[in-house]
Structure 1
Amino acid sequence: MSIRDWPEGERPREKLLALGVEALSDAELLAIFLRVGVAGRSAVDLARDLLSSFGGLRPLLEADQARFCAERGMGMATYVQLQATLELSRRHLASQLERGHALTSPSLVRAYLAAKLRHLGHEEFAALFLDSQHRVIRYESLFRGTLDSASVYPREVARRALALGAGAVIFAHNHPSGVAEPSDADRRITERLREALALFEVRVLDHFVVGDGEVVSFAERGWL
């Protein structure tokens, strides 16, 4: 059954237009993307089935082609459309943090770093290099670790900051476990980085730890 054939009060599209996108559940948003269901299942029913089968929205969005297309009602065309939609979202965020743009929105930085790191199955440490006016120079992935650890070398970070002429930097790394709470090791390496970069008058503005649903800011915790 197509969404347009549902009673108006049950249509996710009409609900979005009337109440805003934030009012919709994951299943309702997914139903709008799917547009139609399958025999005996509406688009919302199908969306709920998919979320249940994959164990949530994130595993569904990050499923590989074979896993995604194996689900009832899914196929190559839907998979391709989903990948294009996800990439458009990432590029939209990135376009707001292009080189030369001054950072004025902490929430935008948080969303951008989460989009870059949240889906990774390994731990990755990255930096957003800024000039002295906090304008974006470049985002770079610096170190890649195993599922539970990453080696971060302050000397290499300092060398990169100097090469780019950075005056400030924002660090970020993900926890593949999904738990965003910083570890003692996270705090120690952040302090080592802060001390190393201070020798070259490069400020560490923040360090974000990205989990499944939460992104923890060191600056908001008062640790920087």
Structure 2
Amino acid sequence: MYEIIEADYPMLPRERLMLFGEVSLSDQELLAILLRTGTPKISVVELAGKLLKHFVTLESFRRASIEELMTISGIGITKAVEIRAMIELGKRIQTTERTRYGKITGSREFADGLSDEMSDFDQEHLIAVYLDGKHKIIKKKTIFVGTVNSSTANPREILHFAVKTLAVSILVAHNHPSGDPKPSEADLVFTQQIAAACDLMGIQFVDHLIIGDNCYFSFQEHALLS
């Protein structure tokens, strides 16, 4: 749990960042820089500490809505909107870097990255990841949003982009908003369909990952891919 730091800093967070770099700053100091100003009663550093203490963890803070942020004294609509924009931009930067330069070295590592990306989704999202011959990511595309089943998750669209990107192999993943990654019967049928379609097209089907709450299910690891 965070504690509000009330003692005066010898240097302002901005000055500390310029001298020592951003990695030397605490979460509270980094947030204070983004907030820019405090209130007539408390400093911006104290306001940052108050925010972090209220939400307890960075994960809870990351999920906080504009309305939830505005329940904190000193956080008005402008600061709440800026915080949400900052969080979303951070997520997009992380996703872009993974898409452009990422390489899939194993299901566990990639599932961990997807867990961060998909943790806020209230609905199931099916994504396809297209890889070159060295398992470097060419493209990652959201195929659709909704329940994964054999009628809506047609392999045709997934393979269309595989051909378009000249992918050598593909990996598909979807999340279970319930948090339980155990595959349903529909998940099993869909996996069999996409595996058969990939085999017919001469494209390697690497894995189907189901992302839960800080956990995942891999069809490859459970030897469910023929």
Q: What's the CA shift for 1:95?
A: 1.3
TM-score, structure 2 as length reference:
0.68
The structure number with the bigger radius of gyration is 2
Matched AA of 2:133:
S
Query: Which of 90, 93, 112 lines up with 1:91 in the alignment?
Result: 93
Q: For residues 110-153 of structure 1, what are the alpha-carbon distances to aligned partners after superposition, in whole Å with 9 as ceiling and x for unaligned?
A: 233223322112111111111233221100000211xx555200
Q: For residues 14-49 of structure 1, what are the alpha-carbon distances to aligned partners after superposition, in whole Å with 9 as ceiling and x for unaligned?
A: xxxxxxxxxxxxxx96x5655599989997675343
Q: What's the CA shift for 1:174?
A: 1.1
Q: For residues 169-222 of structure 1, what are the alpha-carbon distances to aligned partners after superposition, in whole Å with 9 as ceiling and x for unaligned?
A: 111111122222222221221111001111011111111212222222222222
Q: Contact between 2:4 and 2:53, CA under 8 Å: does it hold in 1? A: no
- Give the match for residue 47 of structure 1: 52
Identity percentage of aligned residues: 24
1:106 and 1:86 mapped to 2: Cα distance? Answer: 25
Look up the SS of the partner of 2:201 in the other structure.
coil
Matched AA of 2:187:
D
Q: How does 1:153-192 map to 2 (within 5 A)?
A: 153-192=154-193
Look up the SS of the partner of 2:181 in the other structure.
coil
Query: Which of 60, 70, 79 lines up with 1:77 in the alignment?
Result: 79
TM-score, structure 1 as length reference:
0.69
Tell me: CA distance 1:93–1:142, structure 2 relative to 1, closer, same or farther (3 Å).
closer
Q: Contact between 1:93 and 1:111, CA under 8 Å: does it hold in 2? A: no
1:198 and 1:78 mapped to 2: Cα distance? Answer: 49
1:45 and 1:208 mapped to 2: Cα distance? Answer: 38
**5+ residue gaps, structure 2:** 9-25
2:181 and 2:30 mapped to 1: Cα distance? Answer: 29
Tell me: CA distance 1:4–1:109, structure 2 relative to 1, closer, same or farther (3 Å).
farther
Look up the SS of the partner of 1:133 in the other structure.
coil
1:60 and 1:138 mapped to 2: Cα distance? Answer: 30
Q: What's the CA shift for 1:86?
A: 4.8
Q: Contact between 2:69 and 2:80, CA under 8 Å: does it hold in 1? A: no
Matched AA of 2:94:
H
- 1:116 lines up with 2:117 in the alignment: yes
Matched AA of 1:134:
H
1:121 and 1:173 mapped to 2: Cα distance? Answer: 12
Q: Contact between 1:128 and 1:140, CA under 8 Å: does it hold in 2? A: yes
Tell me: CA distance 1:58–1:211, structure 2 relative to 1, closer, same or farther (3 Å).
farther
Matched AA of 2:89:
E
Larger deviation: 74-83 or 161-170?
Answer: 74-83
Matched AA of 2:111:
R
2:81 and 2:109 mapped to 1: Cα distance? Answer: 27
Aligned-CA RMSD value: 3.6
Count of aligned pairs between the two proteins: 197
Tell me: CA distance 1:42–1:78, structure 2 relative to 1, closer, same or farther (3 Å).
closer
1:199 and 1:112 mapped to 2: Cα distance? Answer: 30
- 1:220 lines up with 2:221 in the alignment: yes
Look up the SS of the partner of 2:177 in the other structure.
coil
Tell me: CA distance 1:67–1:102, structure 2 relative to 1, closer, same or farther (3 Å).
closer
- 1:138 lines up with 2:143 in the alignment: no
Tell me: CA distance 1:73–1:50, structure 2 relative to 1, closer, same or farther (3 Å).
farther
- Give the match for residue 206 of structure 2: 205
Q: What's the CA shift for 1:106?
A: 4.5
